[in-house]
Amino acid sequence: MTIAITKTTKNAKPRITFTDYLTYFDGSDTKYELVDGELVAMSLGTGLHGETIDRTYQAINAEINRTAQPWIVRQGQIGVRCPRGIGLDTVRIPDVVVMQRNDWQALQEREAVIDFDLSAPLLVIEVISPSTKNIDYRAKRTEYAARDIPEYWIIDPLEAKVTVLINSDGWYDITEFFDSDRIISPTFPELELTPTSFFPI
């Protein structure tokens, strides 16, 4: 398929639409987010980053199974379409996503992007890397709130803390947890986790 890539000015980066993003392939294994119509390559991250994501996934998956919720958790496999300013050409790929199982089933025959016709994820989690710190703490916070995602975790191995953001009328209320603090999560009220649970020794 041929995809139209538009340059708005001489020095502007190529821009594509959300529809084109769904079928974009450049022949490589590079994973891209779409930010205001611009493709942004995602790095593999450090071993610490990957280990933290895996520990997070395992803990959340175990809690979903224990409580028999009709939910599913995936790591780095699902895009979330988000409003950004007045534009709709933004797709983020969170490190961990918790969503309704029936919405996951709806993605089986199409690109794995949660569009506006599906419910917002119940929880998204980002694990901080030095290169993504500002994006995860600032840009994604605004985008996920605009998408009405009820809960957003930022796991920060750099500062050994977990920030839990709870959506309240389109804005996130923020609580930070350190060391042996029990993480308080409305989505998982019985969860027995502390920030140290996520960080490999």
CATH architecture of 43-83+92-197: Alpha-Beta Complex (3.90)
Residue 55 pLDDT > 50? yes
Q: How far apart are the first and last CA of the chain?
A: 47
pLDDT (tens digit per residue) in 178-191: 999 999 999 999 99
- Domain range list for the chain: 43-83+92-197
Q: What confidence score (pLDDT) does residue 34 get?
A: 96
